[in-house]
Amino acid sequence: MLIIFNSFSFSLSQTDTQSFLFYFLFASMAAAVMYRMMAAVMLCSRVFADPDLLQDICVADLSSELKLNGYSCKSNATAEDFFSGGLAKPGATNTSTGSAVTGANVQKIPGLNTLGVSLARIDYAPGGLNPPHTHPRATEVVFVLKGELDVGFITTANLLISKSIKEGEIFVFPKGLVHFQKNNGDSPAAVVAAFNSQLPGTQSIAATLFASTPPVPDNVLTKAFQEMELSVSISNQKCRIKILKAVAKLTGVDVLKVDAEKGKLTVVGSVDPVSVATAIRKAGYSADITSVGPPKKPDDGKKTPPPPPVPVPDPPPARCQLVAVTYDTTYEYDRAFCSIL
């Protein structure tokens, strides 16, 4: 076989020719495979990244039934599509949590479509809380307009990163991590929150677990959170709701299930019964804790003696009479719940 490179030539034997052709074909095939792999990687990098804008604006057509990971564009755009005055006024904080969130996302400002940004205003009454929640599609940056807040987020290693921030200061909540803001001051507070998503999404931890449709099975929540149920027997029916809510607030729990008809409420997490009874009595109610214990485990045939009575201080004159408070393990309650802070 005669090989010619420019003006240089040489000949190969039959064996050398076969070897040359083998390595030549192998190198060609390897080059072709590498080319296709690089092309596939480049294609995937384009497919799975956020696409670049192909036009100056794409005002969301919120009435369109077509949804493809966002909103389709409407043909006509006006200045109103890019404007909102919703953040100029404080939100009403007379809620169960003492806070109000006013959103300025693509659903409120259609001109934000494809731009990847949005805002929100959060107002807090004194003692108000924006309960633990996540934004699955965005990082959040808050700027304090007024007041002072205790803020924090929890990492996937269960590390709490928290700080107190005041007017003019900024705090960042990483994308997808559970976080909260609490106004521990005596005056109202407010922040403006910025997101790197036109629709960051909000998932409240309490509502997600205890108000889902259909509901999360009780045995799942019980095992996950080690629920303990307070059974409250109240002599004065007119005071029942009032006392139940007072007990909930005084125990310091965030989420509980209430069955006003049966006089029961469920506390998520462990609660010191002596502290509960003391707090109730300091509030002017009369409580008698007759027994304490966690939810019953499946019967293994072993007899467990009941816990001894818990001593409590003498009560002051009661406005409403609480006859007994016990840890009940029957779990016979409705799935209603309320957030008391």
Q: Is 281 within 8 Å of 315 (Cβ atoms)?
A: yes
Residue 333, helix vs strand vs coil: coil
Annotated binding site: 130, 133, 135, 140, 179
Longest dimension (CA), the chain: 115
Structure tokens at 85: 């005055």
Residue 248, helix vs strand vs coil: helix
Q: Is 183 within 8 Å of 146 (Cβ atoms)?
A: no
Residues 6+ apart with CB under 8 A from 49: none
Q: Is 132 exposed, middle or buried (0-12, 13-18, 19+ CB in 10 A)?
A: middle
Q: Is 121 within 8 Å of 88 (Cβ atoms)?
A: no
Annotated binding site for Mn(2+): 133, 135, 140, 179
Structure tokens at 322: 């609480």
Q: Is 159 within 8 Å of 90 (Cβ atoms)?
A: no
Interatomic CA distance for residues 305 and 27, integer angstroms? 80
Annotated binding site for oxalate: 130, 135, 140
126: alpha, beta or left? (left if phi > 0; alpha if psi -120 to 50): beta
